[in-house]
């Protein structure tokens, strides 16, 4: 495979990088404490306080530890696991340094989280215009100036760049030139498609679909029948097609808060009593963006003691519907689906972006009071 992107046709002339820090929180902690290097450790909550693993070192991953796993379960899998409480200010500082490095190459940066971002380097003249050389430069700069490693994928679109960044982790670079897209995507396992989780993958496997090449056998209509609106996107990605631009001003679609409790909540009264503190937290966070967004839906999340979970949401079609009472009603209805003890509650809102051009047009045509939380 060539190590440099080309511009072989008008539809393939973009150069997109996806930069993803390797075990980000753990890498920062390892930078601060070199004795952690090569050890099985994780960043997360304490097992005795029903904590959850945020991320873990590669040594811990070999023992079966994974992000979002309950800490007590992680310790069972890896008894020597050391769990470190998160230090978010430290991680934010490292993230800012990474993004300062990205800015040296392009202003077209789409941050996905603290530790990953898309960069559109199309037309950039640095490094002889080579996306590969830019990726190598970025990897060196992050290593030398931030003290951690990143993996980078380079490709003509966002879908393939994200797949590529995960190909040679950790501290790896993988390039998918336009000339190689057809063969690469044809053999790509469907599990590598962003958005295909265990349930969707199992559904595909049951239909004899294991690779993108096999996925191409079906029409958009068939895929939409099986996988809903995601079907059309699957049809495109199975062919390596992704026209999405790198969006420098990504906007929120939702806002939520959640809390894991030290002791299980056993009845309706205990659950209802937790709604107001969660809502106060949500309201505080929403106050910082309420001039830019309106609320379209309210939703709740209930995770039970056996780690099964359920969610419930409703469109906000009445401006006078009290937020606290509405959330309490949704929470009880969600809990009543099983009546099991509860370990985690969450609540949130789906948002309308008031700055979107189509929203301004809608407000002109259908003026109404803007709903809050």
234 CB burial (10 A radius; 0-12, 13-18, 19+):
buried
Which contacts (CB < 8 Å, 24+ apart) does range 118-123 have?
118/16, 118/17, 118/18, 118/158, 118/161, 118/162, 118/246, 119/16, 119/17, 119/18, 119/19, 119/246, 120/14, 120/15, 120/16, 120/245, 120/246, 121/15, 121/16, 121/17, 122/13, 122/14, 122/15, 122/16
Binding residue positions for Mg(2+): 20, 115
Instruction: Verify whether residue 116 is a known catalytic residue.
Output: yes
Q: Smallest Cα–Cα separation from 173: which of 150, 149, 153?
A: 153
The CA distance from 356 to 21, in Å, is 31
Asked if 161 and 154 touch (Cβ cutoff 8 Å), the reply is: yes
Q: Which position among 12, 29, 110, 116 bears the catalytic label?
A: 116
Joined together, the tokens standing for residue 32 give 């601060």
Dihedral of CA 179/180/183/185: which sign?
A: negative
* Owner of token pair 């336009």: 178
Q: How far out from the chain centre does Cα 130 lie?
A: 28
Q: How far out from the chain centre does Cα 58 lie?
A: 20
Which contacts (CB < 8 Å, 24+ apart) does range 191-197 have?
192/163, 192/166, 193/159, 193/163, 193/234, 193/237, 193/238, 194/159, 194/162, 194/163, 194/237, 195/230, 195/233, 196/234
C-alpha count within 13 angstroms, C-beta hemisphere, residue 82: 14
Residues acting as catalytic residues: 116
């Amino acid at each position: 495979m060539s190590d440099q992107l080309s511009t072989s046709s008008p539809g393939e002339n973009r150069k997109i990088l996806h930069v993803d820090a390797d075990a980000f929180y753990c890498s920062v902690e390892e930078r601060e404490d070199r004795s952690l290097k090569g050890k099985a450790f994780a960043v997360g909550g304490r097992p005795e306080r029903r904590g959850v693993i945020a991320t873990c070192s590669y040594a811990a991953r070999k023992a079966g530890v994974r992000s979002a796993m309950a800490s007590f379960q992680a310790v069972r899998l890896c008894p020597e696991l050391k769990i470190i409480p998160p230090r978010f200010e430290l991680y934010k500082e490292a993230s800012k340094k990474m993004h300062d490095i990205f800015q040296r190459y392009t202003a077209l940066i789409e941050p996905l989280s603290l530790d990953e971002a898309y960069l559109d380097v199309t037309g950039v003249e640095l490094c002889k215009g080579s996306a590969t050389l830019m990726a190598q430069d970025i990897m060196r700069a992050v290593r030398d100036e931030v003290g951690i490693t990143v993996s980078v994928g380079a490709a003509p679109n966002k879908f393939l760049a994200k797949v590529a960044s995960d190909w040679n982790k950790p501290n790896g670079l993988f390039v998918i030139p336009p000339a190689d897209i057809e063969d690469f995507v044809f053999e790509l396992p469907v599990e590598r498609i962003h958005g295909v989780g265990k349930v969707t993958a199992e559904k595909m496997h049951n239909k004899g679909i294991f690779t993108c090449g096999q996925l191409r056998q079906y029409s958009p209509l068939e895929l939409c029948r099986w996988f809903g609106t995601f079907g059309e996107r699957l049809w495109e990605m199975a062919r390596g097609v992704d026209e999405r631009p790198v969006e420098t001003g990504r906007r929120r679609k939702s806002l939520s808060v959640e809390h894991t409790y030290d002791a299980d909540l056993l009845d309706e009264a205990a659950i209802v009593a937790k709604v107001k503190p969660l809502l106060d937290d949500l309201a505080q966070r929403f106050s910082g963006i309420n001039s830019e967004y309106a609320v379209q839906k309210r939703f709740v999340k209930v995770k039970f003691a056996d780690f099964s979970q359920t969610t419930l949401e409703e469109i906000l079609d009445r401006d006078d519907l009290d937020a606290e009472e509405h959330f309490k009603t949704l929470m009880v209805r969600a809990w009543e689906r099983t009546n099991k003890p509860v370990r985690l509650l969450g609540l949130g809102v789906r948002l309308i972006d008031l700055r979107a051009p189509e929203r301004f047009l809608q407000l002109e045509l259908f003026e109404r009071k803007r709903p809050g939380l």
